[in-house]
Structure 1
Amino acid sequence: MTVDLFPGPVVAELADPGARFIRETVLPVEDRHRGVVHSEAVRVDLQCAAKEAGFFAPHGAAEYGGHGLDMRGRTAVFEEAGYSLLGPPALNIAAPRHIGILDENLFGARQSSSSPARPRRTSPAPPSPSTAECPVTVR
């Protein structure tokens, strides 16, 4: 039995523009801040830019604005985001947010924190920008 690891044409169509987004939008911000951002506003700006470009939380379910990528698809898109230190937070794929989105994909609707199937967080995740906070210029 062979295992097909090719992510498929949809992922290829997403990975190339995703790489361009990281190079053209995220890396200039990283260069300006020398890789260290102490401002919450910069993260929110990058996440708003990712939402506008259609790359915010690509591993999330389609009904939540993601692309519903499986593990093969995630590798291609996450690899492109990992080219920059600010790429994973910009796309909302950095832990602990990534884990919460995976929980929603695996277990359906948000469960209560008392559910044994869902791991507890030890620290709160930074909130994702709401549509009211976007659009903002990338700083």
Structure 2
Amino acid sequence: MAVIEVCVYIDDELLAPALLPMLEAKARLAFAGAKYFPTFDIGYTHIFRITAWGRSPAEAQRRSQRKVGRFYRKMNQVEGFSTIKLEKREDFIHSNHNHSVTYEIMYVIEWTGSRTQRPDCPYPEYQQDLRKLGIAPETAEVLALR
């Protein structure tokens, strides 16, 4: 997942991120640190892409639903998490005759002011998942490098 930008509010309503930061974040989804693991920076909007393939549209759909379900099972444990936008694309890959289903999930982790909100361990299995990944996930520090 990639960090898009700091949350912007007008009249206590969260605004959708601007187009340029969103496109920059989508471009960073190609890098390993943003590709495989959610980002959990509090007070930022984020984007994550989930892709599944199959020999038939139904198989690709089943696999993608399983991955999206796993994503939401973990993310719904994160305090302040909410989905801003969910886009789904279905494609046919001519070179290998497979079908793909891609979900782009734009989400936010809002600051709740609670003492239990922890960016270092946003959900119970976080440290285990981080060890499995083997690389450092992207954080909001990438925005400072712009």
Same fold (TM over 0.5): no
TM-score by length of 2: 0.32
Larger helix percent: 1
Larger strand percent: 2
TM-score by length of 1: 0.33
